[in-house]
Amino acid sequence: MALDLTDFIAGLPKVELHVHHVGSAAPQTVARLAERYAGDTSVPADPALLAEYFTFTDFAHFIKVYLSVVDLIRDAEDVATLTYDIGAGLAAQSVRYAEVTLSPYSHITRGIPAEAYCEAVEDARRRAARDHGVELRWCFDIPGPPPWMTAADVTLDVALKQRPDGLISFGLGGPEAGVSREQFAGHFAAARAAGLHSVPHAGESTGPQTVWDAVRHLGAERIGHGIAAARDPELMAHLREHDIALEVCPTSNVCTRSVPSLAEHPLPALVAAGVPVTINSDDPPMFSTTLNREYQVAADLLGLDERGVAGLARQAVRYSFLDDAGKSAILAEIDAYVAGSGWVQALTDQN
């Protein structure tokens, strides 16, 4: 029997722990919004031109393009439509649960009231669960670029005062270079005191020190990206010993020029050092990828067969912020899928 890993991954129950809200807008959605706001945006309204528009020269250019797409989300209806479509798209990839990174500040400053924003994402979350069987949860993220402290203050205020039912974590995104993690220590302390998990970005476009700072000053429980840890054996040992997982997004790292190529991606070094990792898609349409494709990329980089890929899916579940019952249900579903799909028997027959 010729095993098709692509088909196996497509049907494998999965969770997604690092995917951005606006960054998940499908090309058709982006084009429709660009047409709606034609004359007041640099984003092309032709879906065929978006691939070129989403070709990034460096991380700073990626941020610039990303913010131009953020600017297309101008009312609560846009927010709800985008969010629901994200849920439907994830469900189509056999994703059962996703922690989606939202940046409410970016939309509040563009005129959407905080309460309306939170109501829109919650409405979409409930409808996606009802219609597609996918559970969405939120990470409220401090976005860049400046004014950083204003963004941090507003993000924390919305998180604590609105506290939508789906909110489970607090994050930090945007450019890393020249942006001290320590300056956000108070915001993360307040979020953690309110019961939110800490999941800042760090060590994507900068070095290992940013990861150290996220752990020491922000109480990071997982690290968004964190691939620079591969340059620091002491840091890798710390992540391993303290069970702090990295949310690795291979294709994203290449597209933002944080890594020269997939062949040079540090994922194998991180895994070899025992650092816990999860596989994620980040801003999939912008990087012409999907979560399923990222699992294929990871399988190629790590030399994994179906058992190994299923192991990655299980690991993502374990490092999610689902409750124990939720984790057990998805893990059981993964085990049933592997046992019932014939892959295990086929592998046994080959050996």
Q: Which residues are catalytic?
A: 204
Position 64, amino acid = K
Give just the sign of the alpha carbon dihedral 83, 86, 92, 94.
negative
CB pairs under 8 A, 24+ apart, for 34-41? 34/72, 36/72, 37/72, 37/74, 41/68, 41/71, 41/72
Backbone dihedral region of 216: left (phi > 0), alpha (psi from -120 to 50 degrees) or beta?
Answer: alpha
Please state whether the peptide bond connecting residue 147 to the residue before it is cis, i.e. omega within 30 degrees of 0.
yes
Nearest to 291 by CA among 260, 329, 253, 249: 249
Residues 49 and 43: their CA atoms lie apart, in Å, by 9
Give per-residue burial for 90-112: e unless 16+ CB within 10 Å, then b: bbebbbbbbbbbbbbbbbbeeeb
Evaluate whether 109 touches 153 at the Cβ level (below 8 Å).
Answer: no
